[in-house]
Amino acid sequence: MQSAADIVFDAATKTYAGSAEPAVDALSLTVPAGEICVLLGASGCGKTTALTLVNRLTELTSGDIRIDGRSIREQDVIELRRSIGYVIQQAGLFPHMTIEENIATVPQVLGWKRSRTADRVRELLELVGLPHKEYAGRYPAQLSGGQRQRVGIARALAADPPIMLMDEPFGALDPVTREHMQDEFLRLHEQVRKTTLFVSHDIDEAVRMGDRVAILAKGGRLLQYDSPERILREPADDYVARFVGMDRGLKALTLRSLGELKLDPATGDDEASLRTGDTLRTALSALLAGGAERLPVADESGRTVGSVTVDLIREAA
Ligand SMILES: Nc1ncnc2c1ncn2[C@@H]1O[C@H](COP(=O)(O)OP(=O)(O)OP(=O)(O)O)[C@@H](O)[C@H]1O
């Protein structure tokens, strides 16, 4: 097995053609071999750009990235990509190929013997928790979203690359499946220890997955690069504190339902669109979207039982 490699961003800069400002501006950071580094930040701050600079799907404008001391600029791009597993949000599986054929793509390109490829597919399906007998012959459309992501991960691991790039790999999954996949990936990582760059915009996911978290602002500006504990406990500046805090606050609202609040009495006889089973976040969105000061709330049978305001939600939070 190839051992993991460290990744060094050295003033890595990307300015897209026609853009006045760099999407990633002189980013410098080191991901130690075998660790998971999460790139975290608001939409458009340059996370995906930073990630794809590594496998040269995006070419550097200036600066450098080195893998185990070797500049990516000096490597043949095909060879470079073979040493890097790449997982994206929608798994990117080939729909007309079976699961087995999908996972075997890279070993085949590398000219592995049939038996070696078949063994590897079997081993990988096992590793990501999909029994070979049941899944190898299926097509991607015959799998759930979570299962497809597992196949995407297996495919990325097929040629045993020292590096994994993961771009919001669980972003399209429902929250329960998502947490499950996060745990599974961590378990898998314990076994394979690939150096992993993982893009997320979710602080909870970052804290859970990352050995280190890099908080980026617009232009790929690195605001803080630390362990999750330190990011939460000692945010480097107000922006980081707000970013971490705001997301946490909104998250907290999704954990509570209107049924847990002491609602105001109902006023007027508008039909209620909110139910007691709705989360506080849903209620807040409804209030803000409609520009309403107050909205009626019904129980599950549709009987109006009270009303909710932004103030009530704020007090509860
Ligand atoms: N191919 C491209 N050509 C021109 N500009 C681009 C291109 N890709 C991205 N950009 C711009 O670069 C900036 C960073 O984009 P990037 O996709 O890296 O951000 P991100 O943090 O991954 O965002 P998100 O979380 O929304 O995916 C954005 O302003 C975006 O509009």
- The pLDDT score that the predictor gives to residue 294 is 92
Q: What is the pLDDT of residues 63-95, one digit of tens each?
A: 999 999 999 999 999 889 988 988 887 767 898
Angstrom distance (rounded) from CA 294 to CA 316: 15
CA–centroid distance, 63 to ligand 1, in Å, is 19
- Contact by Cβ (8 Å): 262, 313: no
DSSP tag of 73: G
Ligand 1, atom 28: closest residue by C-alpha: 44
- The pLDDT score that the predictor gives to residue 293 is 87
249 lines ligand 1 (CB under 6 A): no
- The pLDDT score that the predictor gives to residue 135 is 93
131: three-class secondary structure by DSSP: coil
Q: What is the pLDDT of residues 264-289, one digit of tens each?
A: 998 877 888 899 999 888 898 888 88
39 lines ligand 1 (CB under 6 A): no
Closest CA to 3 of 35, 37, 31, 34: 34
Ligand 1, atom 3: closest residue by C-alpha: 16
115 lines ligand 1 (CB under 6 A): no
ipTM of the complex: 0.94
- Contact by Cβ (8 Å): 216, 223: yes
Copy the structure tokens of residue 291. 């520009």
Tell which atom from ligand 1 comes closest to the C-alpha of 199: 22
Ligand 1, atom 4: closest residue by C-alpha: 16
- The pLDDT score that the predictor gives to residue 1 is 42
23 lines ligand 1 (CB under 6 A): yes
In degrees rounded to 5, what are phi and psi of residue 200?
Answer: -150, 155
- Does an H or E element contain 85, and which? strand 84-87
- Contact by Cβ (8 Å): 83, 161: yes
- The pLDDT score that the predictor gives to residue 247 is 61
- Contact by Cβ (8 Å): 280, 258: yes
Identify the segments of the chain with pLDDT beneath 50. 1
| pTM assigned to the model | 0.75
